Chain A
Amino acid sequence: DTTVKQNPRYKLARVGKPVNLICSQTMNHDTMYWYQKKPNQAPKLLLFYYDKILNREADTFEKFQSSRPNNSFCSLYIGSAGLEYSAMYLCASSRGQGEDTQYFGPGTRLLVL
């Protein structure tokens, strides 16, 4: 089973409110990634966990938090949503790091009003 699941599939949030997105995989993959995808733009890597080590991109360092309580689950947390956070959020996992095939979830569409 190469399924990556994301919850919820759609999320409506108010400006200034927190948002928590969940991702799970049962493939025992070491690495889990979070991407932000806006229309006509490339998926933008926000952060990734390799095992228990969190790596956050420099330009999104302060905007997104994450936790990985066990190998299967990974969350993406926005402390105070702004209009610019409206996007599709894609979770992916891979057995190793970047040079291994990434398996993507269906995404969570976040709309901030």
Chain B
Amino acid sequence: QQKVQQSPESLIVPEGAMTSLNCTFSDSASQYFAWYRQHSGKAPKALMSIFSNGEKEEGRFTIHLNKASLHFSLHIRDSQPSDSALYLCAVSYQGGRALIFGTGTTVSVSP
């Protein structure tokens, strides 16, 4: 079965710095890769997703996907205190019918 792992478990970054989060998966046939963000006490919310190898940028957020190395990442440029949250990566499985999530990385951005 698809296994999804995230690193690091937690991260403290100073305001304005780059935040980099990692996700590895086990099924090379996976087609869809996503990041979700959950602020404390709130529902998880989709942040970005990617289908193809390479890079996708939206504002301060960038996803990198390398299917050959079974790895994708999220980079947050100019991190803000409002970026402090739990970040969950997700990968499609069951032929794309559902997602399997990682355990999450807790990010704290210090002012």
Contact = CB atoms under 8 A, between A and B. Distances in A.
A50 B97 contact: yes
A50, A90, A99 interface centre (most CB from chain B within 10 Å): A99
Interface residue tally on B, bucketed by range:
20 to 34
A106 interface: yes
Nearest to A106: B43
A42 B88 contact: yes
A45 B1 CA distance: 13
A69 B23 CA distance: 37
B93 interface: yes
Interface in B85-101: 88, 92-94, 96-101
B103 interface: yes
A74 B88 CA distance: 24
B102 A101 contact: no
Contacts of B97: 48, 50, 55, 97-98
A98 B92 contact: yes
A99 B43 contact: no
Interface in A85-100: 90, 92, 97-99
A66 to B, nearest CB: 14
B88 A99 contact: no
Nearest to B48: A101
B98 A42 contact: no
B31 A42 contact: no
A101 to B, nearest CB: 4
B49 A101 contact: yes
Contacts of B49: 101
A43 interface: yes
A90 B90 CA distance: 15
A58 to B, nearest CB: 9
Interface of A: 4, 33, 35, 40-43, 45, 48, 50, 55, 90, 92, 97-99, 101-107
Interface of B: 4, 31-32, 34, 36, 42-46, 49, 51, 88, 92-94, 96-104
